[in-house]
């Protein structure tokens, strides 16, 4: 059976699952997709915002409101326009690819179409991710259906239902990883560039392609070129935005980084001091990440020196230096650990270990719990 025939069914099932999730949220939200933007009146003026965007009263909103604003008018660099004030203009603007996808899918930023367009961008991204993960599984001699282990990372529930860029970022990062591994340097470069323009944390994954090339003494003479090009272009984007905003975008989020383990330990102390159901829910999500990390670390062996293994370690390290600004509630830390979760799934698939089945069960249960919590 051709590889495409094997990998398409998991991708289509992923599309169906997330489409049903969105429909459920649409029904639960009074058939108003703009509620997924989670615009709050601290940053959005309900009398001025375009297209009947739902604005929650007495609320600071969430990051999707900034991507909605950028998608509506991506050429407008003003911190405040169309009734929406962007909290960190440089920081948000560096993640331009997701808003641009929304702008394109909405026919040029039509505010009436944007809520649907932003959702569609993430549905397409997750379908691509499932297809690539299924291909990864086939590449390693496993059933294509193992791709669902990656596509159903529980944090994606949060990203899809709050119009966030993680699905697009990791879909392109995994695409770059597979293309680079297969010697397809042009697709690897384009996908890698897309990933870093979707979210700056993809830079770590791209850098690990270069590190993997050097450590393995890869015989391909130009194997170093895609990551070097991507990193160079990303730096150029950072300098261009610095000219606009007067600050390097990647430095604008300094409050998210701090002393190693201080953030997660503070989060754990908070969980132990709180006996509520919410605390138990967050503890379960944290337990899922601990289980994933433990299973991967004890089974990846020589893969630790390959790009996927190096990137997994890098993103694990990033998680340890995140502050309590991120380790604060399930929406934040599960988003921040998306790359860690996706790469961990890929590594377990490649290991052909029975532990992958255990993680698949844990992923399914956690994903369902997140979906139920989000829809109620």
What Å distances lie between residue 164 and 122, 191, 276, CA to CA? 8, 18, 28
Per-residue pLDDT tens over the stretch 137-180: 999 999 999 999 999 999 999 999 999 999 999 999 999 999 99
**What DSSP state is assigned to residue 153?**
-
Pairing type for strands 80-81 and 39-40 reads unpaired
Asked if residue 26 lies in contact with residue 52, where contact means CB atoms within 8 angstroms, the answer is no
297, with CB counted inside 10 A (0-12, 13-18, 19+), is middle
Number of structural domains the chain divides into: 1
Choose the weakest-confidence range: 1-10, 278-287, 315-324, 335-344.
1-10
Mean pLDDT value across residues 261-267: 92
CA-CA distance, 367 to 345, in Å (whole number)?
14
Quote the domain boundaries for residue 39. 3-375
CA-CA distance, 42 to 84, in Å (whole number)?
9
Mean pLDDT value across residues 206-229: 84
pLDDT of 217 > 70? The answer is no
Residues whose CB is less than 8 angstroms from the CB of residue 72 and which lie 6 or more positions away in sequence, other chains included? 50, 51, 82, 103, 109, 111, 114
CA-CA distance, 183 to 189, in Å (whole number)?
11
Q: Quick one: the chain helix, strand, coil %, rounded to 5?
A: 70, 5, 25
CA-CA distance, 208 to 213, in Å (whole number)?
8
CA-CA distance, 82 to 207, in Å (whole number)?
37
In sign, the C-alpha dihedral spanning 241, 244, 245, 248 is positive
Per-residue pLDDT tens over the stretch 267-294: 999 888 888 888 888 999 999 999 999 9
Per-residue pLDDT tens over the stretch 39-67: 999 999 999 999 889 999 999 999 999 99
pTM: 0.96
Neighbours of 278 (CB within 10 A): 12
DSSP class per residue in 38-78: -EETTTB-TTT-GGG--EETT----THHHHHHHHH-TT---
Helices 202-215 and 185-198: crossing angle in degrees, nearest 10, is: 150
């Amino acid at each position: 059976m051709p590889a495409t025939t094997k990998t398409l069914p998991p991708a289509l099932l992923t599309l169906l699952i997330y489409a049903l999730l969105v429909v459920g949220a649409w029904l639960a939200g009074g058939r108003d997709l703009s509620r997924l933007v989670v615009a709050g009146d601290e940053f959005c003026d309900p009398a001025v915002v375009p297209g009947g965007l739902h604005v929650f009263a007495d609320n600071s909103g969430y990051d999707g409101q900034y991507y909605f604003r950028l998608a509506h008018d991506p050429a407008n660099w003003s911190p405040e326009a169309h009734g929406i004030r962007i909290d960190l203009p440089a920081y948000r603007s560096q993640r331009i690819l997701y808003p641009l996808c929304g702008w394109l899918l909405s026919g040029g930023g039509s505010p009436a179409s944007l809520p649907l367009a932003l959702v569609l961008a993430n549905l397409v991204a997750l379908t691509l991710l499932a297809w690539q993960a299924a291909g990864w599984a086939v590449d390693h001699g496993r059933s294509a259906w193992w791709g669902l282990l990656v596509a159903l990372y529980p944090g994606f529930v949060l990203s899809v239902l709050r119009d966030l860029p993680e699905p697009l970022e990791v879909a392109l990062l995994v695409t770059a990883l597979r293309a680079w591994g297969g010697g397809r340097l042009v697709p690897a470069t384009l996908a890698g560039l897309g990933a870093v323009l979707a979210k700056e944390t993809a830079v770590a994954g791209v850098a690990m392609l270069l590190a993997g090339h050097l450590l393995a003494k890869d015989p391909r003479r130009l194997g170093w070129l895609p990551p070097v090009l991507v990193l160079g272009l990303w730096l150029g984007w950072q300098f261009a935005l610095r000219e606009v905003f007067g600050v390097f975008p990647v430095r604008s989020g300094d409050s998210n980084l701090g002393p190693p383990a201080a953030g997660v330990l503070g989060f754990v102390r908070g969980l132990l001091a709180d006996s509520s159901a919410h605390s138990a829910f967050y503890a379960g999500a944290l337990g899922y990440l601990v289980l994933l990390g433990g299973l991967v670390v004890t089974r990846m062996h020589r893969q630790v020196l390959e790009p996927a293994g190096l990137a997994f370690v890098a993103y694990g390290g990033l998680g340890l230096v995140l502050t309590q600004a991120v380790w604060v509630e399930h929406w934040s830390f599960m988003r921040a650990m998306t790359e860690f979760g996706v790469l961990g799934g890929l590594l377990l698939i490649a290991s052909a270990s029975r532990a992958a089945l255990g993680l698949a069960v844990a992923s399914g249960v956690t994903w369902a719990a997140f979906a139920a919590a989000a829809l109620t």
